[in-house]
């Protein structure tokens, strides 16, 4: 039987029929896997949500500052069938045999964040969207997940899964929401897994525009298309070091979130803000102090020291008992933390936020291509240096890979996503991409004996969409 190419009932007019035709074989395979997992059933529709590469603005979203990612073509697709019989039981399978099929009660989802299971992301999306929609007795759904975004590579495979499931579940209940509403709901969903990210990944997955990077701002959430300069290609290369944010949250990602929060509160307090306890993000502290980036950096130099802060010292500075600092400012995964590197973290965030604004200005003002590429490249290189030295979220392999990329003609190269492994993104003149890719393969993947290393040039892709099977 031939299977028609699914037509698009998109959230916007975002998912082109060309993109779908190119993927017909994949959708056919998902349909076949669906039938074999669910007694011959046929999906009622598909949902898809893309991964992303962040061009600049790393580790600033949860401090309130704007980011500049673009969606990539790689995505998560979920095939969905609505059960004919009543009930709230959901069954979810994966085309990857590593991920076993399982069921859960959609009306009573309990996620054990200590057990790192792929299904946690799916259940988080399910739980968040049903709660947001007030669905106390959600429909029973059959779901088949197919992901082609490499996991732990900083390309946001986990958030794409959360977003895709939330979109699928909303559609499975005939609910229509705006992209912005989906992005906001899905940002909250992620908390059910225990990470405290700032919303970049969910926002770009829904709000991406084909052909443009997006400047995403928070509080309130907004997204502005940014036209990248002609002649610039962005090449993603995977260091092949898997970064498991879930597993290392207490010492890496979530600790950084706490260090940023403590920095914000301390800046506000030492800067004389009366209700300093409300300045829980660096942006809020900046607004309360009514200071420019330079003025903020001057305040940091004046008030902060570069060695680590202990809880005892913070207790003295805030005038609060240690136990209150822990209960008010830390999260479940970071209550054990006793040492905080504030000067470096806040310096990174302020400088990176300023670099992100400069990157956007260069794209918007569109100087001649040579000038534009050189400036953007420099900002990306500076971003990497700051991630490595001040935020300490790089690793040896990423430093090595970005320097190979620069030697091979990238005008800028930096880690992308949370770091501690995963991918880097390089700005390469379009006419040099082929040679660049070949050389990086040889000098990084081959030398390190990495088979099938991932490297690809990505044009800005489109956002999440419903794909109906007619």
Is residue 418 a contact point for ligand NG1 (CB under 6 A)? yes
* Selected binder of ligand NG1 within 190, 238, 259, 397 (CB under 6 A): 190
Number of residues that bind ligand NG1 (CB under 6 A): 17
Q: How far is the CB of 184 from ligand NG1 (least distance, A)?
A: 13
Q: How far is the CB of 16 from Mg ion (least distance, A)?
A: 26
Nearest to ligand NG1 of 154, 377 (CB atom): 154
φ/ψ (deg, to 5) at 165: -65, -45
CB 342 within 8 A of CB 311: no
Give the contact letters, 60-79, x = binds to ligand NG1 (CB under 6 A), - = no.
Answer: -xx-----------------
58 is in the binding site of which of Mg ion, ligand NG1, none (Cβ under 5 to 8 A by kind)?
Answer: ligand NG1
Is residue 125 a contact point for ligand NG1 (CB under 6 A)? no
Count Cβ atoms within 10 A of the Cβ of residue 348 and give its class: 0-12 exposed, 13-18 middle, 19 or more buried: buried
Count Cβ atoms within 10 A of the Cβ of residue 128 and give its class: 0-12 exposed, 13-18 middle, 19 or more buried: buried
Is the peptide bond preceding residue 128 cis, with omega within 30 degrees of 0? no
- What number of H helices and E strands is found in the chain? 17, 15
Nearest to ligand NG1 of 33, 155 (CB atom): 155
Residue nearest to ligand NG1 (CB): 197
Nearest to Mg ion of 141, 200 (CB atom): 200
If residue 414 lies in a helix (H) or strand (E), which one and from where to where? strand 412-415
Count Cβ atoms within 10 A of the Cβ of residue 262 and give its class: 0-12 exposed, 13-18 middle, 19 or more buried: buried
Is residue 238 a contact point for ligand NG1 (CB under 6 A)? no
Is residue 139 a contact point for ligand NG1 (CB under 6 A)? no
* Selected binder of ligand NG1 within 179, 245, 345, 348 (CB under 6 A): 245
If residue 26 lies in a helix (H) or strand (E), which one and from where to where? helix 24-37
Nearest to Mg ion of 190, 352 (CB atom): 190
Residue nearest to Mg ion (CB): 158
Return all residues near 317 (Cβ < 8 A) that are at least 6 apart: 266, 269, 270, 309
**Which among 151-159, 210-218, 221-229, 231-239 is the span making contact with Mg ion, rule CB under 5 A?**
151-159
Three-state SS for 466? strand
Is residue 417 a contact point for ligand NG1 (CB under 6 A)? yes
CA angle 359, 155, 90 (to 5 degrees): 135
Is residue 200 a contact point for ligand NG1 (CB under 6 A)? yes
Lookup: tokens for 354: 């300023």
* Selected binder of ligand NG1 within 59, 139, 280, 355 (CB under 6 A): 59
CA distances from 103 to 89, 98, 123 (A): 7, 16, 10
* Selected binder of Mg ion within 88, 95, 158, 205 (CB under 5 A): 158
> CA-CA distance, 105 to 227, in Å (whole number)?
44
132 is in the binding site of which of Mg ion, ligand NG1, none (Cβ under 5 to 8 A by kind)?
Answer: none
106 is in the binding site of which of ligand NG1, Mg ion, none (Cβ under 5 to 8 A by kind)?
Answer: none
Return all residues near 137 (Cβ < 8 A) that are at least 6 apart: 88, 107
Catalytic positions, written as ranges: 201
Q: How far is the CB of 43 from Mg ion (least distance, A)?
A: 26
- Which residue carries 């035709």 as its tokens? 21
Q: Which residues pair with 8 in a beta bridge?
A: 467
**Which among 20-28, 158-166, 172-180, 206-214 is the span making contact with Mg ion, rule CB under 5 A?**
158-166
* Count of residues making up the chain: 470
Q: How far is the CB of 156 from ligand NG1 (least distance, A)?
A: 4
Lookup: tokens for 374: 């050189």
Q: How far is the CB of 187 from Mg ion (least distance, A)?
A: 12
Residues that bind ligand NG1 (CB under 6 A): 54, 58-59, 61-62, 154, 156, 159, 190, 195, 197-198, 200-201, 245, 417-418
């Amino acid at each position: 039987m031939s299977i028609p190419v699914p037509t698009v009932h998109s959230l916007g007019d975002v998912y082109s029929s060309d993109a779908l035709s190119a993927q017909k074989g994949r959708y056919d395979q998902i349909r076949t896997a669906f039938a074999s997992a669910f007694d011959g059933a046929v999906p009622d529709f598909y949902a898809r949500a893309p991964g992303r590469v962040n061009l600049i603005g790393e580790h600033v979203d949860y401090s309130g500052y704007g980011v500049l990612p673009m969606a990539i073509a790689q995505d998560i697709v979920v095939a969905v069938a609505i059960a004919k019989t009543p009930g709230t039981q959901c069954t979810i399978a994966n085309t990857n045999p590593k991920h076993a099929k399982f069921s859960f009660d959609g009306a009573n989802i309990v996620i054990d964040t200590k057990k790192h299971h792929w299904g946690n992301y799916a259940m988080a999306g399910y739980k968040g969207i049903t709660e947001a929609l007030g669905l106390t007795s959600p429909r029973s759904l059959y779901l088949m997940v197919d992901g082609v975004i490499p996991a732990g590579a900083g390309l946001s495979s986990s958030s794409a899964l959360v977003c895709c499931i939330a979109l699928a579940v909303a559609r499975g209940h005939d609910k229509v929401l705006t992209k912005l509403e989906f992005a906001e709901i899905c940002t909250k969903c992620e908390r059910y897994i225990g990470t405290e990210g700032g919303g970049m990944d969910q926002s770009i997955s829904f709000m991406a525009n084909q052909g443009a990077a997006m400047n995403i701002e928070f509080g309130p959430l907004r997204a502005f298309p940014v036209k990248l300069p002609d002649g610039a290609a962005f090449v993603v290369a995977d260091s092949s070091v898997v970064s498991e944010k879930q597993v290392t949250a207490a010492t890496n990602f979530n600790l950084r979130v706490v260090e940023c929060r403590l920095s914000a509160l301390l800046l506000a307090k030492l800067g004389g803000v009366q209700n300093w306890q409300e300045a829980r993000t660096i942006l809020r502290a900046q607004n309360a102090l009514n200071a420019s980036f330079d003025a903020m950096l001057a305040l940091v130099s004046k008030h902060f020291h570069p060695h680590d802060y202990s809880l005892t010292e913070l207790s003295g500075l805030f005038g609060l008992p240690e136990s209150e600092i822990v209960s008010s400012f830390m999260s479940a995964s970071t209550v054990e933390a006793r040492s905080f590197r504030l000067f470096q973290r806040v310096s990174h965030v302020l400088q990176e936020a300023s670099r992100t604004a400069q990157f956007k200005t260069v794209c918007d003002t569109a100087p001649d291509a040579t000038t534009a590429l050189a400036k953007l490249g420099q900002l990306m290189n500076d971003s990497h240096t700051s991630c490595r030295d001040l935020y300490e979220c790089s690793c040896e392999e990423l430093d090595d890979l970005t320097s190979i990329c620069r030697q091979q003609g990238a005008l800028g190269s930096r880690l992308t996503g949370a770091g501690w492994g995963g991918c880097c993104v390089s700005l390469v003149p379009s006419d040099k991409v082929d040679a660049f890719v070949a050389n990086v393969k040889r000098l990084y993947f081959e030398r390190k004996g990495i088979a099938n290393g991932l490297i690809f040039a990505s044009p800005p892709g489109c956002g999440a969409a419903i794909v109906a099977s007619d």
